[in-house]
Amino acid sequence: MGPAAVLQAVLFLIALFFITKPLGRYIADVLEGRRTLLSRLMLPLEHGIYRVCGIDPRAGQPWTTYAAACLYFSAVNFAVFYALLRLQKWLPLSPNPLATPMTPDLAFNTSVSFMTNTSWQSYPGETTLSYLCQMLGVTVQSFTSAAAGIGVGAALLRAFRREGTREIGNFWVDVTRATLYILLPMALVGALFLGSQGVIQSLSANRKVAGLEGTAQVIPMGPVASQESIKLLSGDGGGFFNANSAHPFENPSPLTSFFEMLLILAVPAAMTYSFGAMAGDVRQGWTVFSVMMVLLSAGIVVASWSEYAGIPVLHSLRVPGRNLEGKEVRFGAGGSALFAVAATASADGAANSAHDSFTPIGGLVQMFNMKSGEVVFGGPGTGIVSMIFMVMLTVFLAGLMVGRTPEYLGKRIESREMKLVMISFVSTGAAILVFSAATFVARSPLASLGNPGAHGLSEILYANASAVANNGSAFAGLNANTPWFNTTLAAAMLVGRFLVIVPALAVAGSLSLKRRLTITAGTMPTHGPLFVALLLGSIVLVAALTFLPVFCLGPIAEHYYMHLGLLR
């Protein structure tokens, strides 16, 4: 790695560390209903929403009612967006002729994608969606899906403090507060900054200009800045343009790229501190943050090293230097690797380079981030849920080894909780492997592959991992706009979203009923370096047991082929 790349990575990690506590404290105050700096401005609007919608903010919900509200909310969002996509030809704010109408299977995939906060896109946004669909569809879904995830995370976090009650919160209150107090103000500030740096914001039609060679060129326009900030902040990642954050109208400079990476990880990182604050022990939050930061830092180092090492066959041809294929020169290998790791460590599908062009080990890091269960920060709300599940598994395994009933934050972790945790782990891992295997068994979908051999396997694995992890990024070597992929990837997104959310709410309901036990000298500490090491080992072990064989057949095999000078 060059000095500039090292400096950028270090500054990014430092900046992420310093925003975690203040933002995490603020998020905890919002989710707990305490007054904040924005209360005077937002309280009238919040109470007005409750009155119009007939919501009693003081009424709590058991986990079943909370889950039903979440599913209903998601279904309505899906239906509205699907209708927009199918009817956009006849709706206003479509100043540019659309290339093709959206087919039913693609509209289904796209609606599921944004409803689940995945943002998988099998289409070029600038030629397929109208401005109305971009604003009323994609942008609104970014707010609603992220708010729902934050609400689920809040329900699980507050369950550790509650005793003898079936109520885990109120879904409608959590979603309203997450939107008004967290997502809206941060998205507004982000949009203003990005607009000041050159990200466009316009409702005018595309412009035709004469290029340097005298040929006509179409310059795409659109309301990009307002969508860009929330796409990053929400963990959504859906790009206005097909090139996503590699497009200069979405990401003009290294400064905006740095800012966009912070937006991606700001809320997931801050919610680790919110967890500690809401649980009454900030050490627990810092422990979780430390594990996430170690995994993120390791991924940055490995991916950057691999991209700087370059391609051996090119070195033999006296072409020195790093791997710059598929990367923007304004970001370079270091900035591209850093962005790719940050995006795949979250649930954000944004990309400032072509992930398909990364070296095999660089691609392996991105796949590990997603296949480790969305525990490297992950998405807003869902990331902390996935990490708490992993903590509960670690505590359970440690309890079995010493012959004690596992406890976490004063709550016994018993068979009911572990069954729910394992439903989440097994279903998401199986979905990646089963849907990938089904693609090869069906054979006809393989015509969509851009590459044969090990890299082609990696493309299939990456697509399904991205769908299940609700990430949405792609290797970009796979033509996924087919009925097979539109259907199977949508199914994978639904598994990855709701077979995490529903078990999390069931766990919250179970924990909120339990009495808190007194912490004694015999209680296993769940903070400090020893537990950090134990938790890291559990994460790596679970990912390895589940995915090591396919890693060996995909990116690891490709790595050895690359050093042998072979294509497959």
Mean pLDDT over 364-382 rounds to: 89
> Between these two residues, 301 and 313, which has the higher pLDDT value?
301
Q: In whole angstroms, what is the distance from residue 435 CA to residue 432 CA?
A: 6
Q: In whole angstroms, what is the distance from residue 133 CA to residue 93 CA?
A: 9
- 473 pLDDT more than 90: no
**In the block, which residue shows the tokens 């991992």?**
465
**Hey, CA dihedral for 379, 384, 385, 391, is it positive or negative?**
positive
Facing residues of 209 across strands?
217
Mean pLDDT over 335-355 rounds to: 89
Look at residue 333 in the predicted model and tell me its pLDDT: 86
Look at residue 80 in the predicted model and tell me its pLDDT: 94
Facing residues of 407 across strands?
412
Look at residue 399 in the predicted model and tell me its pLDDT: 81
- 537 pLDDT more than 70: yes
* 3-class state of residue 209 by DSSP: strand
Q: How confident is the model at residue 556 (pLDDT cuts 50, 70, 90)?
A: very high
Tokens of 394: 């670690």
* 3-class state of residue 6 by DSSP: helix
> Between these two residues, 257 and 318, which has the higher pLDDT value?
257
Instruction: Tell me what the pLDDT averaged over the chain comes to.
Output: 89
Look at residue 375 in the predicted model and tell me its pLDDT: 87
358 near 303, Cβ under 8 Å?
A: yes
**72 burial via Cβ count (<10 Å: 0-12, 13-18, 19+):** exposed
Among 48-62, 127-141, 312-326, the minimum mean pLDDT is found in 312-326
Q: Could you give the percent of the chain with pLDDT greater than 90?
A: 57
Q: How confident is the model at residue 513 (pLDDT cuts 50, 70, 90)?
A: very high
For residue 103, the 8-state DSSP code is: P
* pLDDT per residue as tens digits for the range 254-280: 999 999 999 999 999 999 999 999 988
Mean pLDDT over 42-54 rounds to: 93
Mean pLDDT over 121-130 rounds to: 86
* 3-class state of residue 515 by DSSP: coil
Mean pLDDT over 107-116 rounds to: 93
- 124 pLDDT more than 90: no
Q: What residues have CB less than 8 Å from 174, skipping those under 6 apart? A: 31, 147, 150, 151, 154, 155
**In the block, which residue shows the tokens 């057949």?**
553
Element (H, E) at 210: strand 207-210
Look at residue 489 in the predicted model and tell me its pLDDT: 93
Q: Could you give the percent of the chain with pLDDT greater than 70?
A: 97
Look at residue 484 in the predicted model and tell me its pLDDT: 93
Look at residue 394 in the predicted model and tell me its pLDDT: 92
CA atoms within 13 A on the CB side of 211: 6
Mean pLDDT over 290-305 rounds to: 94
* pLDDT per residue as tens digits for the range 435-468: 999 999 988 888 888 888 888 889 999 999 999 9
Measured between alpha carbons, how far is residue 353 from residues 180, 190, 216, 248, 343 in Å? 33, 21, 26, 12, 11
Q: How confident is the model at residue 50 (pLDDT cuts 50, 70, 90)?
A: very high
> Between these two residues, 93 and 34, which has the higher pLDDT value?
34
- 149 pLDDT more than 90: yes
128 near 154, Cβ under 8 Å?
A: no
Q: How confident is the model at residue 16 (pLDDT cuts 50, 70, 90)?
A: very high
> Between these two residues, 211 and 396, which has the higher pLDDT value?
396
Mean pLDDT over 474-482 rounds to: 84
350 near 264, Cβ under 8 Å?
A: yes
Look at residue 526 in the predicted model and tell me its pLDDT: 84
Look at residue 89 in the predicted model and tell me its pLDDT: 84
**In the block, which residue shows the tokens 């505590």?**
395
Tokens of 260: 């966009």
Look at residue 319 in the predicted model and tell me its pLDDT: 64
Look at residue 100 in the predicted model and tell me its pLDDT: 66
- 527 pLDDT more than 90: no
Look at residue 261 in the predicted model and tell me its pLDDT: 94
In degrees and rounded to multiples of 5, residue 327 shows phi and psi of -120, 150
Look at residue 406 in the predicted model and tell me its pLDDT: 85
Q: In whole angstroms, what is the distance from residue 455 CA to residue 98 CA?
A: 33
Tokens of 205: 């039609």
- 200 pLDDT more than 70: yes
* pLDDT per residue as tens digits for the range 76-100: 999 999 999 998 888 888 887 776 6
Look at residue 404 in the predicted model and tell me its pLDDT: 72
Among 42-51, 99-108, 477-486, 526-535, the minimum mean pLDDT is found in 99-108
- 143 pLDDT more than 90: yes
Task: Give the CA dihedral 531, 536, 540, 545, nearest 10 degrees.
Answer: 10
Q: In whole angstroms, what is the distance from residue 73 CA to residue 53 CA?
A: 13
Tokens of 60: 């709590």
